[in-house]
Structure 1
Amino acid sequence: MSMGPRWQKSSYCMNASDCVELARLRPDTIGIRDSKQVQADGPVLAFSTPGFESLITRIKGGDLDHG
């Protein structure tokens, strides 16, 4: 019996219900989902591990800020 991914809410969310959750979907894939969309068939963005690391680097560097 498969337990499925173990989703973890961002530590920046504290007790907020509107947040993101991350899970390792496969050894080389990380998933991101909206914490309000937790049903089994809810939308998930899937990234390769290097793609996810690149996304985090770009977010931290402000490359995706619009303003």
Structure 2
Amino acid sequence: MKPKIPERIKKKATQLEYLYREGLAYAIRIQRTGYLSMRLCLCWRMLSKDNGQSWKTMSHATYNTKITQ
């Protein structure tokens, strides 16, 4: 079951994606997969599999499984 993303996390994700596109925020490249990752808070992450063109917000547990696929 997917955890529901709280509104405050959705808002923060939107802001962080905007800052990334403006060049004011940075993403970490995962060496093993080449994906880009940004941390929203302790339990939430953003992941891009297409070099920053689109981002998905997910819980840390979901993120851990996605980066190994």
Query: What TM-score range do you get, normalising by the shorter chain?
Result: 0.3 to 0.5
TM-score, normalised to structure 1, is: 0.46
Structure 1 or 2, whichever has the larger Rg, is 1
Structure having the higher helix fraction is 2
Greater RCO, CA 8 A, separation 6+: 2
TM-score, normalised to structure 2, is: 0.45
